[in-house]
A and B are shown apart, each in its own frame.
Chain A
Amino acid sequence: MRVEKAKTVALVILVTSSLLMSGWLWLGVGGAALAPPTPLGAERATRLEGPSLRELTAPERMIIRRAGGAVYAYPGSTVYERIWEDGRLAALVVAASEERIQRQELDPDELQRLREETVEIVLPVRLSWSSWLLLWGGSGIRGVGPAVDRLSIALQDPTRVVAWAAGEREVVTMRLPVVPDYVARLLGDAELPAGLPARPLQVSSEVSLLSGIYVPDIPSVPRVICRTARVDPEEMAASFFVDRSLVRRIVEKDGAVIYTDGQQGLRVYPSGMLEYCAALPQADPGLPQLGAALRQLCDFASTHGRCPPGCFLAQVSIMGGLPAHQGYSFVFGMRCAGLPVLGPRAALEATVGPYGVRTYVRYLRELEVHQSRLPLILAAEEAVHLALEVTENPHAQVVDVYLAYYDPSAPTWERQLRVVWVVAFAGGRTVLVDARDGTIWDGGPR
């Protein structure tokens, strides 16, 4: 009997151990160590909701001109939000373009008439009309159309919309299916809506000026404090690399930390800036459409941390070359208190290729709007004259003048943003003039 008892115990042990070993094998032993390298763009971090394409491409500002004067409307203001209606205006424009558009050239007199009695919507980036339609959910148009960065809705004929660019003669005109609600309300109201007062830019006749430039007529802007965002390198790395056991770390002498698994590289700077790049695969699945590429970038940014708050699309360019090198280059700016924040470093710069995000540089800052205000000591006209001196071309045509904040990106933890007049010239050059002391700042990317 004793032998039988021993055999029973031995059998139980053997059955248990076989079950354990089967489970061990089923779940995998050392699987992580032997797994193939992390696939490109593999993501595991919690995905946050990123901005929509219409949010990213929302207008930079609006100018409502009537016979009795003009007002400025910046993002966040009631007038702005009512006109833009979370992108409903963009949807109307897309619908109108799907029906029929007309491309034509306007002479300077026609352009001046176009800017009278209008709602002028200044877009954040100059893009071909076809690209705008793709970004706003349309199917594009045949051909690319002229590059535009403004929409004008004539108050005399409120279903007619003209898409145009400052300094260019070719425009696109279309008819909206309905009059936008708030524009209809403006028509029924003889008064200007509540907004920041604006006045025409008045410079000496020697200055070449595009007609119809209005500048904000305000004495000051809110004071903004900028703080470098604290970024935990290990936390960031965890969001980029699925298998950390394959990742090595390089700590640079300036405190920046590089993580790489051979396929992807991530560098986190002490300033909170981060750079990411992925290896180029050999195969070519084809370049995504502009809207899809931008969507991929937003998803990527949201998955790996977040999109900088208040960001907007500031530049787009198409990269040519070999199929694997083709793609889009995007630059995002950021806004604070309705004004764009300019400076040597963009909020986000990235390239998106056939396989998704290839390079990614994010510069995260925290901006705090204070109750106190920064006075505008320098008038816009003085800024124009200073900018003309910088260009060393007295005949350069001024096509736009607007206010912005400027972040010198000094290596300090906390700094106050400057306020600048941005003087834009025909041909694309911009000069940043400090509105307090006339200092000329390097524009750099937004």
Chain B
Amino acid sequence: MADRGDGGLHMDWARAKTVLMVAFLALNLFLGHQILQERTGRIASGSREEVELLREALAQAELVLGCRLPKPRQMSLLQVRTLPWDEAALLQTFFPSPPEVCRGDGGRKYRLGDEELSLSGEGTLRVTLSAGLAPDDLGGHQVRALAARYLERLGGIPGGGRLDFIAACPGGWVVQYVQVYQGWPLFGGGLRMVVGTGASVELECYWFEPLGFVGRPQMVLGASQALLRALQDPQAWPPGSRVIADVSLGYYSHPYDAAHWEAVPVWQVRMGSGDLLWVNALTGMVEGVRPAPR
């Protein structure tokens, strides 16, 4: 307000507009920030308060967060089916002479000497072999090279993939390769090689055939939010593991003996011991656990 000189007051509109503009600009910045937070999680993933909340919950469960948490993304469901094996080619790859055919549980099993190969009904290949390695040879490099050789014998990763992790475990070593589809790792399948101290090698391999994304993309739960929900079911966590070594986002599904199905977005939690836990990134429920060999 300004003095008009005649004893009355007049409105200084120019100044009032400037003040209102500044006020609304500040308000819009605040609202915009809130919307951004809403779109990326109720509390921004990785924010100090959320990670603190998670650390407290983990401490109560006697767990320690030993890695950074990646940011959530928008994801759809992924339609997949089993990629079938060429059984004849497999037998030629692993057995120098025709093996003995045994009965499998819902699948087929072959044996030659100490070496065994089985194919389950849903398409998981399991091979037990003698690697011919002395215990002294069991270094990370040797194990990784061995896994790469077996992967090559199996024809590589269909559609492409990468080494997910290699970890020393009480029973020896575990190496895990995952398939990758359009940048997303497909957990629940892949090649897993366990080398025991007795120099025996166990391979477990299952490949998905991705058919494409289905449904509207939606923002998944932040890793900390998903883990907080998963901690509500402490019995689902692998016993004995203490340190969370890695958390990564991808798709997960059990192998099914079905025509096709949908894999869900998950946060894969890898413990320092090599145990794996998959937490549904839409609901926070534990989808599956794979303990490391002990």
Residues of A within 8 A of B (CB): 4, 7-8, 10-11, 14-15, 17-18, 21-22, 24-25, 28-30, 32-34, 36-37, 245-246, 248-253, 258, 261-263
Contact A245 B280 (CB under 8 A): no
Contact A24 B28 (CB under 8 A): no
Question: Which one of B3-11, B159-167, B189-197, B254-262 contacts A?
Answer: B254-262
From B38, B216, B225, B256, contact of A29 by CB (8 A): B38
From B39, B218, B259, contact of A251 by CB (8 A): B259
From A4, A29, A33, A253, contact of B282 by CB (8 A): A33
From A7, A24, A32, A263, contact of B35 by CB (8 A): A24
Contact B220 A33 (CB under 8 A): yes
Q: How far is the CB of B227 from chain A (nearest CB, A)?
A: 15
Contact B285 A11 (CB under 8 A): no
Closest to A38 in B: B283
Known: A25-B31, A248-B263, A251-B259. 4 other contacts (CB 8 A): A33-B219, A245-B216, A248-B262, A251-B261
Q: How far is the CB of B270 from chain A (nearest CB, A)?
A: 21
Question: Which one of B13-21, B47-55, B87-95 contacts A?
Answer: B13-21
Q: Mark B217-255, 1 if CB is under 8 A from A, else 0.
A: 011110001000100000000000000000000000000
- Chain B residues within an 8 Å CB radius of A4: 13-14, 17
- Chain B residues within an 8 Å CB radius of A14: 20-21, 24-25, 28
Contact A11 B21 (CB under 8 A): yes
B215, CB-defined interface residue at 8 Å: yes
Contact B283 A21 (CB under 8 A): no
A7-B38 Cα distance, complex, nearest whole Å: 31
Residues of B within 8 A of A (CB): 13-14, 17-18, 20-21, 24-25, 27-28, 31-32, 34-35, 38-39, 41-42, 77, 215-216, 218-221, 225, 229, 256-264, 280, 282-285, 287
A25-B38 Cα distance, complex, nearest whole Å: 8
Closest to A244 in B: B215
- Chain B residues within an 8 Å CB radius of A249: 261-262
Q: How far is the CB of B263 from chain A (nearest CB, A)?
A: 8
Q: How far is the CB of B221 from chain A (nearest CB, A)?
A: 7
From B13, B35, B218, contact of A21 by CB (8 A): B35
Contact B262 A250 (CB under 8 A): yes
Closest to B286 in A: A262
Contact B24 A253 (CB under 8 A): no
Q: How far is the CB of A42 from chain B (nearest CB, A)?
A: 13
Contact A11 B20 (CB under 8 A): yes
Main DSSP-derived SS at the A contact region? helix
A25-B37 Cα distance, complex, nearest whole Å: 11
* Residue among A18, A28, A37, A253 with the highest chain B CB neighbour number at 10 A: A18
* Residue among B20, B39, B283, B284 with the highest chain A CB neighbour number at 10 A: B283
Contact A248 B21 (CB under 8 A): no
Contact A30 B39 (CB under 8 A): yes
A32-B217 Cα distance, complex, nearest whole Å: 12
- Chain B residues within an 8 Å CB radius of A253: 257-259
Contact A245 B218 (CB under 8 A): yes
- Chain B residues within an 8 Å CB radius of A32: 218
Contact A10 B38 (CB under 8 A): no
A157-B13 Cα distance, complex, nearest whole Å: 100
**24 intermolecular pairs with C-beta atoms under 8 Å apart:** A4-B17, A7-B14, A7-B18, A8-B17, A11-B24, A18-B24, A21-B32, A25-B34, A25-B35, A29-B35, A33-B219, A34-B41, A34-B42, A36-B229, A36-B284, A245-B215, A245-B216, A245-B282, A246-B283, A248-B262, A251-B258, A253-B257, A253-B259, A262-B283
Q: How far is the CB of B261 from chain A (nearest CB, A)?
A: 4
A250-B35 Cα distance, complex, nearest whole Å: 35
From A8, A15, A248, A263, contact of B264 by CB (8 A): A248
Q: How far is the CB of B251 from chain A (nearest CB, A)?
A: 11
A1-B283 Cα distance, complex, nearest whole Å: 57
Contact B24 A252 (CB under 8 A): no
- Chain A residues within an 8 Å CB radius of B282: 33, 245-246
Contact B283 A37 (CB under 8 A): yes
- Chain B residues within an 8 Å CB radius of A250: 256, 258, 261-262
From B28, B38, B41, B283, contact of A17 by CB (8 A): B28
Contact B260 A251 (CB under 8 A): yes
